[in-house]
Amino acid sequence: MNNNCTDTDALLLGDRPKVLVGMSGGVDSSITAYLLRQQGYYTEGLSFILWGSERSEATGSSSACCSAASLNDAKATALALGIKHSLLDVRLEFMQQVIEPFIESYKRGFTPNPCVLCNQYVKFPYLLSEADARGFDYIATGHYAVIERQPEPSLLTASDRIKDQSYFLYVLNRQTLSRLLFPLGWLNKTQVKELARDLTLPCCMRPESQDICFVDNTGYRGFLTTYLKDAQAAGPIVDMGGKTIGTHNGLYAYTIGQRRGIGIAAKEPLYVIDVDISSNTLIVGPKSFGLKGGFKVNKLNWLVPVTNVPELVHVKFRSTMRPTPASIKITSDNTIEVIMHTLQWSPAPGQSAVLYVGDKVIGGGEVVEERRRGSVSPPQTPSQGDSSP
């Protein structure tokens, strides 16, 4: 596919900066393209063929950002805005870099974050690669976050704290940040929806895309049922004293911190405290056992020089929680220990732990090991700031 500008296009461009917008077909990326065009950028849209658009149509899942319906909406929106639009097939890369690690994580008893994997290995690298190949100055997406340019490219939280997506972007590097535009960073979701309705764009009636774009209406457990046939063996459910109190139907269907779906009546609610893959055992207990004092983190990506990393930070290990005070200790080139200042609910191996100083993201990595309850510094009462199940 040849997306190079014609001679006429070149004359019309003049000295206008060129931006390639990742368009999913939803409201956020559509308004991103509109705003950038209004700001004077020469704008084109690019949509990725990521995963099973035919499958999503067959199952009636049209809200996913990788469905055939979403790609059609992206094309229609680009036409309505008067900008060029093209498709890029990255299904193989998406399978290798996102789907397969997602499945493998559950086989290991981890809780993966596929959106982070997609941002790190597919969405932004391929968007930037296409921009370079086509001679574009910038790339843009519909994420709710802010890029600060001076004194160096930095990632900040969005003004709409409810929609803030900086948590999912900590894996980007500073070179990418220098080429990246987030026009929605200073807007809230209501403003964006109202603008789409006022413009009567094809996207204005689309529902919000689901958390995991490649699963259908059966959810991630239904998805894993298809791909983890060998991981559905029944096994024991034990309490914190090691007593068998029930039987599970496959560890893949449980995540640490989960309450619903355990299926055992008890005097007080039971939560998933741990999963033991080696013995195919599910460990459950009262909520108090899920409160942890910290965790180790590896696969680190720093957005500031390591020498500038302070000891006191705020941390999120779930996208929906508020950043919480913590101390960090750098134990190796690729590992840190996070010590929470208050006991926190159920950090799980595989989750992303993102570090903040004020509104600035300074880095993050993957939770690999939890500190047991009681080892907090300084000792305080459990935090009420997090959203427990």
d(CA 164, CA 100): 27
* Length reported for the chain: 389
pLDDT digits (tens, 9 = 90+) for 86-135: 999 999 999 999 999 999 998 888 989 999 999 999 999 999 999 999 99
Mean pLDDT of the chain: 86
- The arithmetic mean of pLDDT across residues 250-257, rounded, is 86
- The arithmetic mean of pLDDT across residues 370-375, rounded, is 52
pLDDT digits (tens, 9 = 90+) for 109-120: 898 999 999 999
- The arithmetic mean of pLDDT across residues 277-305, rounded, is 94
Q: Where are the beta strands (DSSP E) in the chain?
A: 18-22, 42-49, 84-89, 138-140, 146-148, 154-156, 180-181, 235-238, 244-248, 271-276, 281-285, 291-302, 312-316, 324-332, 335-345, 352-357, 360-371
Q: What is the pLDDT of residue 64?
A: 53
pLDDT digits (tens, 9 = 90+) for 214-251: 777 767 777 887 877 766 688 999 999 999 999 998 88
Q: Identify the weakest region by mean pLDDT among 158-167, 204-213, 318-327.
A: 204-213
Q: What is the pLDDT of residue 36?
A: 98
- Which of helix, strand or coil describes residue 133? helix
Q: What is the pLDDT of residue 324?
A: 97
| Residues near 14 by beta carbon (within 8 Å), at least 6 away in sequence | none
Binned at pLDDT 50, 70 and 90, residue 209 comes out as low
Task: State yes or no: pLDDT of 322 exceeds 50.
Answer: yes
Q: What is the pLDDT of residue 381?
A: 34
Q: What is the pTM of this model?
A: 0.86
Task: State yes or no: pLDDT of 65 exceeds 60.
Answer: no
pLDDT digits (tens, 9 = 90+) for 12-29: 455 789 999 999 999 999
Task: State yes or no: pLDDT of 384 exceeds 60.
Answer: no
pLDDT digits (tens, 9 = 90+) for 155-194: 999 999 999 999 999 999 999 999 999 999 999 999 999 9
Q: What is the pLDDT of residue 371?
A: 59
d(CA 207, CA 272): 32
Q: What is the pLDDT of residue 207?
A: 65
Of residues 255 and 353, more confidence is placed in 353
Task: State yes or no: pLDDT of 38 exceeds 60.
Answer: yes
Task: State yes or no: pLDDT of 4 exceeds 50.
Answer: no
Q: What is the pLDDT of residue 251?
A: 87
* Residues assigned a catalytic role: 118, 213
Whole-number percent of the chain with pLDDT over 90: 65
Binned at pLDDT 50, 70 and 90, residue 208 comes out as low
Q: What is the pLDDT of residue 379?
A: 32
Q: What is the pLDDT of residue 206?
A: 67
Q: Which residues pair with 85 in a beta bridge?
A: 45
Task: State yes or no: pLDDT of 59 exceeds 60.
Answer: no
Binned at pLDDT 50, 70 and 90, residue 62 comes out as very low
d(CA 30, CA 225): 34
Q: Which residues pair with 244 in a beta bridge?
A: 238
Task: State yes or no: pLDDT of 58 exceeds 70.
Answer: no
Count of CB atoms within 10 A of residue 187's CB?
18
Task: State yes or no: pLDDT of 356 exceeds 70.
Answer: yes
What domains can you pick out in the chain, each with its CATH number?
Answer: 7-205 (3.40.50.620), 232-285 (2.30.30.280), 289-371 (2.40.30.10)
